[in-house]
Amino acid sequence: MKPPLAQPESLPTADLHGRPPRVLCLLSGQWMMNVADMNAPFEAERRVMVEKQLRRRGIYEERVLEAMATVPRHEFVPEAQRRLAYSDRALPIGVWETISQPYIVAVMSQAADVRPGDRVLEIGTGTGYQAAILALLGAEVVSIERNPELAKEAAERLERLGYDDVEVVTGDGSQGYPACAPYDAILVTAASPRAPQALLDQLAEGGRLVIPVGDRHEQQLELIVKADGEISRRTLDSCQFIPLLGKEGWSESGQVPIL
């Protein structure tokens, strides 16, 4: 996959939104020690992932890089896939579902520009990995998953690992989750034929929507920003996600609903 962003030799002076990058200072005390112990067997693999797969390909936001270096990805993949947890690829987590490639997780997290205290909606919980990254960046996360079994497992996993600022719910992600709207950022981890109006309506002023848009085989990862009641769009990269099923996504038959 070609990198969507410039590949700077040193850190830039501003992020995607014209603001200076910050460092991550979110972990402390006993929980940090527990995470360190949990991560120890894979620490080298995680650091290689960050340097070779992320930083060299244009991920420059230090808070995102540090979160990716901290969250134990191997805890979010099936036992049979653990040796591949930090490889440069998506991995299967069910019959149709996958956990996204680390690079894509980082691109989406960087583009969403998550700040401590932001309310963030994730569409497509999967195993909970992206939600854990968002929580470590300081967000209050609502994550919606269509598959009830995956949702239950993800909620239990996130609780066990100490990510208390994530609420996992089951439902049609293409409709968002109005109960907790508006959101400072929305990340969609499944491909939609278009940006669902329900998600645009649930964005706060200044809110960011990161979503793969296209057909069922190839998409463009888009950053959509709501400012002064207007919507602006920026294409980040080509990508390939499983389809977003639901009222404002794809139907089970593969047809785009007429709204």
Average pLDDT, the chain: 86
Domains recognised in the chain with CATH numbers: 87-239 (3.40.50.150)
pLDDT at 239: 93
Name the residue with tokens 């499944």. 190
What pLDDT digit, counting tens, does each position of 87-113 carry? 999 999 977 789 999 999 999 999 999
pLDDT at 156: 98
**What's residue 87's pLDDT?**
97
pTM confidence score: 0.83
Percent of all residues in the chain with a pLDDT value above 70, rounded to a whole number: 81
Which residues fall within 8 angstroms of residue 17, CB to CB, at 6 or more apart? 113
Residue 256's pLDDT band, with cuts at 50, 70 and 90, is: low
CA atoms within 13 A on the CB side of 22: 11
**Residue in the structure block whose two tokens are 């070609």:** 2
The pLDDT, as a whole number, for residue 217 is 87
Neighbours of 92 (CB within 10 A): 13
State residue 22's pLDDT score.
39
DSSP state letters, 164-208: TTEEEEES-GGG--GGG--EEEEEE-SBBSS--HHHHHTEEEEEE
Per DSSP, 235 falls in state E
Residues listed for the chain: 259
Q: Express the helix, strand and coil content of the chain in percent, nearest 5 each.
A: 35, 25, 40
- Identity of the amino acid at 18: G
Task: Give which of 125, 159, 119, 110 is closest to 139, Cα–Cα.
Answer: 119
Question: How far is Cα 119 from Cα 139, in angstroms, rounded to an integer?
Answer: 6
Which residue did the predictor score with more confidence, 33 or 215?
215
Number of other CB atoms surrounding residue 253 within 10 Å:
5
Active site residues: 100
Percentage of residues in the chain having pLDDT higher than 90 = 77
Instruction: HSE, CB side, 13 Å, CA atoms: give it for residue 51.
Output: 6
